[in-house]
Amino acid sequence: MVALVSVPRNLLGGDSAAEIMSEFGPEHLRLLRFCSSRSSVADLATDLDLPLGVVRILLSDLRERGLVSIHQPATAGLHDIRILKEVADALRKL
Amino acid sequence: MPYANSEQTGDRQPVPVAIKILVAGGFGVGKTTLVSSVSEVRPLRTEEDMSEPSSLVDQLEGVERKTTTTVAMDFGRISISDDLVVYLFGTPGQRRFWFMWDELAYGALGAVVMADTRRLADCFPSIDYFERNGMPFVVAVNCFDEARRYPSETMRSALNLTDDVPLLLCDARQRASSRDVLVALVEHAVARLSSGQHVTPAR
């Protein structure tokens, strides 16, 4: 749900929209546009106003084709006191 | 800044840290209010398998083969830096949505359980859930204008809370108050880590 999606840099200037369209549908293309700035699967679902499950399926199609990469966020942060203190400090400034 | 190794996907972009915090509690307790007072809240839709109890509530006449239902969650994002983001998920309070909790809880830092003194029992299931999973949580009593105030000790004993679980009074409408609740949760997680208790992703 909070896995992060990104478009590999070398692909940004590569496949043209038409090429991708011929292979996929307009939903894929729309999703791909939103992926250009690194966001989580949940972010994409809300940006596109699509259910989470639909976004997951579209993303898996795109990943199979190597058009996006999906990273699990660093859960190590949960066990790192330094990071958690940084989070607490930042929240205090809200 | 914290980076972790990326998955084996070919490119070497650093992976940011995402901190997931759940906001749980009974129906109408103020989860949406709390999430929206500290972040820009957006509805997140998810198609879920329909559970037995929900099929009694959702009218299935004419769509008997429908086995999923759309559930909307509150979803908030607080960007701390380019590579550190806090995500807030307001978990649906109704009993028929409990089946979603395991996925939501996976890899979460902890939870805020919201309580209303007029319907204290509504938060019991949330407290049970996080106790069972060993996930750090704080209880935030949302002080509704018309609700009676009780001493903390009275509420702690009514909720059967162990001494280590922080209990706070809050006004979810106030950004500063909601922020303090989140800070208390993160500090609680830090305290548990410092005392050697691991924050284990639930499942």
B4 within some domain: no
Task: Determine the Cα–Cα distance for residues B130 and B137; give it in Å rounded to an integer.
Answer: 7
B146 within some domain: yes
Q: What confidence tens digit (pLDDT) does each residue in A5-24 have?
A: 887 755 555 556 667 667 78
Residue B185's pLDDT is 97
Would you say the pTM of this structure is higher than 0.90?
no
Q: Name the residue in chain B with its Cα closest to that of A10.
A: B11
Q: What confidence tens digit (pLDDT) does each residue in B78-104 have?
A: 988 888 889 999 987 666 677 778 888
The CATH code of the domain that includes B29 is 3.40.50.300
For A54, A62, A82, B7, B153, the CA distances from A31, given in Å and listed in that order, are: 11, 9, 35, 21, 51
The domain containing residue B62 runs over which residues?
Answer: 17-194
Interface of B with A in 114-153 (CB under 8 A): none
B1 within some domain: no
Residue B2's pLDDT is 47
Q: Which two tokens stand for residue A77?
A: 């942060």
The number of distinct structural domains making up chain B is 1
B190 within some domain: yes
Residue B59's pLDDT is 55
Task: Determine the Cα–Cα distance for residues B5 and B11; give it in Å rounded to an integer.
Answer: 11
Q: What confidence tens digit (pLDDT) does each residue in B126-174 have?
A: 999 899 889 999 999 999 888 888 999 999 999 999 999 999 999 999 9
Interface of A with B in 31-60 (CB under 8 A): 38, 40, 42-43, 45-46, 49-54
A45–B183 C-beta distance less than 8 A: no
Residue B187's pLDDT is 96
CATH architecture assigned to A4-92: Orthogonal Bundle (1.10)
Rg (CA), chain A: 16
B186–A88 C-beta distance less than 8 A: yes
Residue A94's pLDDT is 86
Half-sphere exposure of A84 (CA within 13 A, CB side): 26
- Residue to mutate among B20, B192, B195, with most A CBs inside 10 A, is B20
Q: Average per-residue pLDDT in chain B?
A: 82
Distance from CA of B120 to the nearest CA of A (A): 28
B83 within some domain: yes
B11 within some domain: no
B6–A49 C-beta distance less than 8 A: no
Q: Average per-residue pLDDT in chain A?
A: 82
Residue B203 has pLDDT above 70, yes or no: no
3-state secondary structure chain B: CCCECCCCCCCCCCECEEEEEEEEECCCCCHHHHHHHHCEEEEEEEEEECCHHHHHHCCCCCCCCCCEEEEEEEEEEEEEECCEEEEEEECCCCHHHHHHHHHHHCCCCEEEEEECHHHHHHHHHHHHHHHHHCCCEEEEEECCCCCCCCCHHHHHHHHCCCCCCCEEEECCCCHHHHHHHHHHHHHHHHHHHHCCCCCCCCC
Q: Would the ipTM clear 0.85, i.e. be above it?
A: no
